[in-house]
Amino acid sequence: MQRRAHTTQLDRNVIEDASQKRIIGRWISHADSCLEMGGGYGRTTSFIEPFFHKVAMADVSEGSLQLARTVLRKTSLVQGDASSIPMKDSSFDFIFMVKVVHLLRDPALAMREIQRVSKDQGILMMTIPNLPMNSLIRSFEERVSPKLRHILPTFGPAI
């Protein structure tokens, strides 16, 4: 019975991953630059690399970054978190945060940092792992400058 539960969870992860990539693929257009915050081992970053000239990924875990180095071709990798993004002001057209916001110690500070590193009319795409977090992000959306064109919260564990 435990093997079946494990297999079911693996199946859900595969479906969730495919769903997220499908939605992200529909929203992004080819642009100059993007940053993925909390990119882990590069699962989403490897999907978005072909859409952008300049790609960067940040994660707090050096171990995850080492794994990401084995799958990413052109992405610049940096160790850091969303409360202090180690990038220059106005650097990115797109910023991605896939299942990261619920891990942030200070989401308001992270949103200010995202605003800082976003170009004018930059786009933030994020997935949120549950409905209560969606409400939290919507409360911060009102405080974020119009410099960010979209905040795209998604519902449920998958998308």
Domains and CATH numbers, the chain: 2-152 (3.40.50.150)
| pLDDT value of residue 23 | 76
| Structure token pair of residue 138 | 């919507």
SS3 at position 145: coil
Assign residue 133 a region (left: φ > 0; alpha: ψ between -120 and 50; beta: otherwise).
alpha
The C-alpha atoms of residue 19 and residue 16 are separated, in whole angstroms, by: 5
Give the chain's end-to-end CA distance (angstroms, integer).
28
All residue ranges of the chain with pLDDT < 70 are: 1-13, 129-159
Tens digits of residue pLDDT in 89-123: 999 999 999 888 878 888 889 999 999 999 998 88
| pLDDT value of residue 114 | 92
